[in-house]
Each structure stands twice: as C-alpha cells, then as structure tokens.
C-alpha cells in the first residue's frame, strides 16, 4: 500500500466507481513530465488515504504520435466504455494537444480512440476535459496555451457522438486576464524567446466542469497569482457552456497548488483534489473536503485531511 504523501503526481483525477466500491486515482505520473513520456498509471483504493498500485493503464506503442510530455489524464464513463482525455506533445516538438483514448476497464489498457489530437493541429493546447451539455452534446473544454497566445484562453469544441473527433471550430469562452485574480506570469531574464518574455503572459490550466445545485455551471481552472500556482472558479449563471462567464474574485486554493477537480465520495461528501506544490519532483495529490452552497464552493478546512 502507498499513501498520498508518497505518490509523485501532477493533475490528479479521481473516478468514484460504484460498481466495485473503489476510487481510481489517475494523473501525470512520469518522474519528469517535461521530458520523455512512458505512459500513465492508476492507483486504486477504498479510503482515499491508502492505495494499491501503481498499475500502468496506458503505454505508447512504437507508432504512437508522441514520445514526450504525457499530461493530465482524465477518465470519464460514456455510453458503457471508459474514455481517457490526455495531453501529448507531438513528435514535431512544436504542437501539443489533447487526444482521446478508450478502454473497457478502468484498469486499461487504454488504446488510442481519436486519430491524434482532437484540438486544432496547429495549436499549443492542453488539459482537455469532457462535458455533456443539456442536449446530450459532448464537448471538449481545453486550454489554448499562453505560450502561443500570451493571454491564455479556455475554449470549447463540439465532439462527434462517438468522441472520435471535433465537429466544429473551437469557441472561445474567456481569457485568463478577464478574471480578477490571475497575475502576469514572470519569466526569467534568460528565457530564450525574447518576444514571449516581453509580452504580457497569463496562464490557463486544467479546466473542470461542475453543475451546481442552483443550476449554475462552474468551471475550476488554475493560473498564477503572485508567483504561486492557484485554483480559481468561474461560473455560467445561464447554466450553459457558452456562458456568459463570470469570475469569482478570490481563489479557493493558493498554496502553490492547482489543476483541481471535484468528486463525490461514496458517502456523497464533496471533495476537491489537486496537486501541490507545483514543483517537480515534489508534487503530490492532496484531497480537501469542500461544500457547495448555492453555487459557491467553500473549502471546509484550510488543511487537507488527506
């Protein structure tokens, strides 16, 4: 068995599986996620504190289109199968995007389902997540990276019914600087791209969708606040993915952690998981009890219980 404090992981995602009474913890699990990609692992447990694993759920075959930067796997059940949304840097070394993989088991193996990235081929994109709207239309919500656009964007694109491809152009939901809490990313003076270094850069990371009890659609996403990785929330009061989007003024977590998601325990308690600190190889999954009251996410304790 292994505890959270001993699991090196970024971008944690927990699937509560009522079929076997187990929690499945996925995330970016390579020892150095910035270099060679070896695959994704899952940890399995029943108390959110002690886990069995790791079990490898995805390993690239020789003809896979990427061999670096395997990031942010999320697993969603859809029409009886399990779909993994995960980000990969293409072998051209210039473009990154989210692809979709599929398995009949939460333990994998997950195999490529889409033909490469579902996000636009000439974009630097990351952190795609699945959202099914009120008309049962599947969408991918994802980030268009600050590296390419400066002011990081969160976009959404309609997916085909079988989740194999995008069926429309992406829609811009908002840019990072529209929210009041993110601050400009400060790059080191020796950053190699002078044009990027001298412009105003704002980060968008890790969107995750949650339907609140008051009908609002909430989006968790991460950015930088005063040189610290932080977790914030935006909301669509219409309940629709296309907004309009409004932004909470305060973060819900600012202790150099983020890329969070919400899940319910088997006892129906609401929990937030994210990684902290935001530094390799020190990042760990932490799990924090929260409450949702009329669309507001309230952190129950400043200190994670797990």
pLDDT in tens, 1-43: 999 999 999 999 999 999 999 999 999 999 999 999 999 999 9
Strand partners, 266: none
Confidence category of residue 187, pLDDT binned at 50, 70, 90: very high
Average pLDDT of the residues of the chain: 96
pLDDT digits (tens, 9 = 90+) for 192-246: 999 999 999 999 999 999 999 999 999 999 999 999 999 999 999 999 999 999 9
pLDDT digits (tens, 9 = 90+) for 116-152: 999 999 999 999 999 999 999 999 999 999 999 999 9
- Give pTM, 2 decimals: 0.96
First to last CA, the chain: 15
Q: What are phi and psi of 223, to 5 degrees?
A: -155, -165
- Is residue 269 within 8 A of residue 23, CB to CB? The reply is no
Task: Give the angle subtended at the CA of 283 by the CAs of 231 and 274, to the nearest 5°.
Answer: 35
**Token digits for 171?**
């829609």
Task: Report whether pLDDT(53) > 80.
Answer: yes
Task: Give the angle subtended at the CA of 272 by the CAs of 114 and 132, to the nearest 5°.
Answer: 35
**Token digits for 201?**
């850069």
CATH class name, domain 2-299: mainly beta
Confidence category of residue 98, pLDDT binned at 50, 70, 90: very high
Task: Report whether pLDDT(305) > 60.
Answer: no
């Amino acid at each position: 068995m292994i505890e959270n404090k001993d699991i090196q992981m970024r971008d944690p995602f927990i699937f509560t599986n009522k079929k076997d009474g187990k929690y499945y913890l996925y995330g970016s699990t390579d020892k150095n996620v910035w270099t060679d990609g070896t695959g994704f692992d899952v940890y399995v447990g029943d108390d959110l504190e002690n886990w069995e694993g790791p079990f490898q759920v995805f390993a690239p075959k020789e003809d896979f289109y990427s061999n670096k930067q395997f990031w942010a796997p999320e697993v969603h059940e859809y029409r009886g199968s399990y779909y993994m949304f995960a980000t990969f840097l293409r072998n051209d070394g210039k473009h990154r995007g989210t692809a979709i993989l599929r398995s009949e088991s939460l333990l994998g193996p997950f195999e490529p389902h889409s033909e490469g990235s579902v996000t636009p081929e000439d974009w630097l994109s990351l952190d795609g997540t699945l959202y099914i709207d009120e008309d049962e239309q599947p969408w991918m919500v994802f980030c268009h990276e600050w590296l390419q656009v400066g002011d990081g964007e969160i976009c959404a694109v309609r997916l085909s019914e079988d989740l194999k491809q995008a069926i429309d152009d992406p829609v811009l939901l908002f840019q990072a600087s529209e929210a009041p809490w993110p601050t400009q990313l400060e790059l080191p003076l020796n950053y190699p791209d002078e044009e990027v270094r001298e412009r105003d850069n704002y980060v968008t990371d890790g969107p995750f969708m949650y339907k609140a009890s008051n009908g609002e659609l909430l989006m968790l996403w991460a950015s930088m606040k005063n040189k610290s990785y932080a977790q914030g929330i935006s909301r669509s009061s219409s309940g629709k993915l296309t907004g309009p989007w409004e932004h909470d003024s305060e973060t819900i977590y600012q202790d150099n952690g983020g890329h969070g998601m919400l899940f319910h325990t088997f006892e129906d308690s609401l929990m937030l998981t994210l990684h902290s600190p935001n530094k390799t190889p020190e990042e760990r999954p932490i799990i924090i009890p929260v409450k949702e009251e009329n669309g507001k996410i309230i952190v129950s304790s400043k200190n994670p219980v797990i």
